[in-house]
Structure 1
Amino acid sequence: MASSRPAPEALYIPHGGLIEGADGGEGPGGHTGHADRAEASAPAGYAGYAAQEPPASWEEWNPTAETVRPVRGKHRIHKKGGGGLARSSTVLGVGVIAAVGAGGIATAQGGKPPVSIALPDLASVADSLPGVGALVDGDDTAAPATAAAAAVLSSAGVTGADAERGTTDAGEALRARILQQAENQHRQADDAQRRQAQDAAVARAAATATAQQGKAAAEAKAKAAEEKRKKAEAARKKREAERLAKLAKSFTLPVSSYVLTSHFGDSGSMWSSGSHTGLDFAGASGTPLKAVHSGTITEAGWARAYGYRTVLKLDDGTEIWYCHQSSLSVSVGQKVSTGDVIGRMGGTGNVTGVHLHLEVRTGGAAIDPLSWLRGKGLTP
């Protein structure tokens, strides 16, 4: 560490000695002039020091760039209000003057030769006092202050990662961190959006899968119901066929040899009601007419437009009318069984030819004889 030049030694003039440079010229101590006034006004302890120009061999102590090592490193300035840098400089200057004055006082009071005062290295002082380096640099221009301020700003907030990346400037470091933070925020937003999209896709896939499962389940259920319905229908048809087969054994057609000529509901002027109310079986006159099922004869005789008519009432209340007969073979109140002959085919009453006019009535109303016979397992 380089040392500073020692402070100049104070010039000691004995009391009453010759003072040069006074307005009264040269003379022994006590002459009138500025010297007297200076001596008279000097405080106690400073009587031997006269106000005079320093000798040629004395130099003013003023550190320069050649005598003081340049400040190394960068220091942060902590500003507390205004004038912080000026106050630090003033403190340093007052300390130096006090040290020089103390040395001079000790020399004057003790009568000993002046003591040289060695000041510490200003570089180390500058290192320990923020903002002083710019003052002791020796440059009177504004560049050192600007450099100091730039040094402070350039090192503010600079981290090791910034130094590794080479962004040691405070603005660049701040800009880099802002950009990095923005990038992180964008990345987080993108991640959140990506997660939302993934969640939405998963939800859509789950909904689609659920819908497909529901559709498959519905289709399977419908198919099972259809199969069940088909099976039930097949079972019903089977039961109906069995019932009809059983009924067929107890029911028979009213005539064996015939041709169907007029059906139920046919319209024409030949029928007083305007439509045909029965089923016509045409055949040869005298063809035997049989009881379709067992029952009781409730009517047997002439019935005007119907000619000779026989009414057979079944056990369930259904009435079977046999009309236009040529002759009757039963009487009222007689019990008959399936297939018993009850009369003969003819052409009596309001007819255009020989035939059997067969009517089926339930509750007094005429129904289609063809459908009724088929319902009994018979096929006319």
Structure 2
Amino acid sequence: MAATATLPGADFGVDGERGWDEWNPTEETVRPVRGKHRVAKQRNGLARSSAVLGVGVIAAVGAGGMASAQGKPPVSISLPDSIADNLPDAKSLPGVGALLSDKSEDDGAAPATAPLTTAGITTAEAEQGTTDAGEALRARILQQAEQQQAAAAAEAREAQEKAAAEKAAAEAKKQQDAAEAKAAAEKKKAEEKTKEEARKKAEALRLAKLAASYAVPTTSYTITSTYGQAGTMWSSGHHTGLDFAAPTGTPVKAVHGGTIKSAGWSGSYGYRTVLELEDGTEVWYCHQSSIGVGVGQKVSTGDTIGRVGATGNVTGPHLHLEIHTADGTGVDPMGWLRSKGLNI
């Protein structure tokens, strides 16, 4: 008894379509072989060939045959019992058994098939109405390209923002450094000003103390000749002291405490008194009308030691004052008196 099988794609009784006849191999169609062992091998080989054929048919249907087979009536194929008995169970074939559900065997319902064009479509894409796998692939590629482009744009934007932030930070640091340098310069200037003011204040205090211990040599005076002034009236060709013009008899005072070194007539200087200070400085009082102290006498600041006169080489009553250092060098009396805090 021959087993009968059907293949999709056959069309019986339809004009213009190719028909398929029932195939029943006979002894004439089977090549005679010798030996039972060889026949068994042939049957096993035929079984294997049939399995390969079944897998090939399934693969062909998966590759596109199913799309063309839809709507075609099944074709019956008769196979000899020897071949049908050796065909493997469809569920045992790799990749095929999973396609057959238990439900189809129980209730006889045919498994649902989908067009090949829907293969590879995800559930989300199907829910969005996508039915074409090529279009879905194209959409995925475009989406991936857009994502890559967006990532590149985001990276470029991030790099620009980073560069801008670094530039802003550098500019801020530059401004901060400039501000700090300016503040430091102003602080230094203020400190220097403060130091200068402190120095001036200290000098003023020193001069005030000196002024308390030094006195102007006379009062009611007018400066008529200064130190170093050139003229034929002086034997040296220039003036060697400072002249305080005042009325005859005006008191002459000790500029500082010291000892009377000499007192008396001194030629062109007229009556002269020499006061020696503790540091060896000598103060000469010349052209006096009278002398009120003696040699070796100790005097204090402001003590009267004589009177203004017009003795010696003079043109009128005045006090001729000279200052000599300890080594005998003459200096400007006005500068020396001012260095002691006196206003001349």
Residues 271 and 286, structure 2, Cα contact 8 Å, conserved in 1: yes
Instruction: Encode CA deviations 1:168-190: one digit per residue, 9 max, x unaligned.
Output: 53566445424532431231232
CA positional deviation for 1:358 = 0.6
Distance 2:23 2:64 in 1: 32
Please state how far the C-alpha of 1:310 moved relative to its aligned partner. Answer: 2.3
Relative distance call for 1:298 and 1:212 in structure 2 (3 A) is same
Match of 1:103 among 71, 75, 80: 80
Name the CA shift for 1:293/1:226 in 2 (closer, same or farther; >3 Å). closer
In the alignment, what sits opposite 2:337? Answer: 373
The CA distance in 2 between the partners of 1:324 and 1:365, in whole Å, is 21
Equivalent residues of 1:300, 1:311 under 8 A apart: yes
In structure 2, relative to structure 1, the CA distance for the partners of 1:256 and 1:211 (3 Å cut) is closer
Aligned positions of 1:278-357 closer than 5 A = 278-337=241-300, 338-342=302-306, 344-349=308-313, 351-357=314-320
TM-score by structure 1 length? Answer: 0.52
Equivalent of residue 160 in structure 2, options 193, 199, 205: 193
Q: Is the 8 A contact 1:252 1:339 kept in 2?
A: no
Give me the whole-angstrom Cα distance separating, in 1, the residues matched to 2:80 and 2:216.
160
Residue in 2 that maps onto 1:8: 23
Q: 1:258 to 1:199 in 2, by over 3 A?
A: closer
In the TM superposition, residue 317 of structure 1 has moved relative to its aligned partner by: 1.7
Cα deviation per residue 1:181-215 (whole Å; 9 max; x = unaligned)?
A: 24312312321331342244245435544654665
Listed as ranges, the matches of 1:35-54 within 5 Å are none
| Partner in structure 2 of residue 184 of structure 1 | 151
Contact 1:162–1:168 (8 Å) recurs in 2: no
Cα distance change on mapping 1:284 and 1:362 into 2, 3 Å: same
- 1:369 to 1:155, Cα distance in 2 relative to 1, 3 A: farther
Q: Mind listing any 5+ residue stretches in structure 2 that lack a counterpart?
A: 8-19, 36-57, 66-76, 97-115
Structure 1, unmatched stretches of 5+, are 14-40, 46-67, 76-98, 108-114, 129-147
Q: How many pairs align?
A: 265
Shift of 1:219: 4.0
Q: Is the 8 A contact 2:254 2:303 kept in 1?
A: yes
Instruction: Report the alpha carbon displacement of residue 262 of structure 1 after superposing the two structures with TM.
Output: 0.8
Distance 1:199 1:374 in 2: 63
Alignment partner of 1:360 out of 306, 323, 339: 323
Whether the 8 Å CA contact 1:297–1:330 is kept in 2: the answer is yes
What amino acid sits opposite 2:218 in the alignment?
V
Question: What SS is found at the alignment partner of 2:286?
Answer: strand
RMSD of equivalent CA atoms: 4.9
* Contact 1:330–1:343 (8 Å) recurs in 2: no
Distance 1:225 1:370 in 2: 30
Corresponding letter in the other structure for 1:187: A
TM-score normalised by the chain length of structure 2: 0.56
SS, match of residue 297 in structure 1: strand
CA distance 1:74–1:324, change in 2 (3 Å):
farther
Contact 1:288 1:345 in 2 (8 A): no
TM-aligned CA deviation for residue 44 of structure 1? 6.9
C-alpha distance in 2 between matches for 1:260 and 1:197:
75
User: Contact 1:296 / 1:313 at 8 angstroms: preserved in 2?
Assistant: yes
Alpha-carbon distance between aligned partners in 1 of 2:272 and 2:129, rounded to the nearest angstrom: 124
Q: Is the 8 A contact 2:287 2:308 kept in 1?
A: no
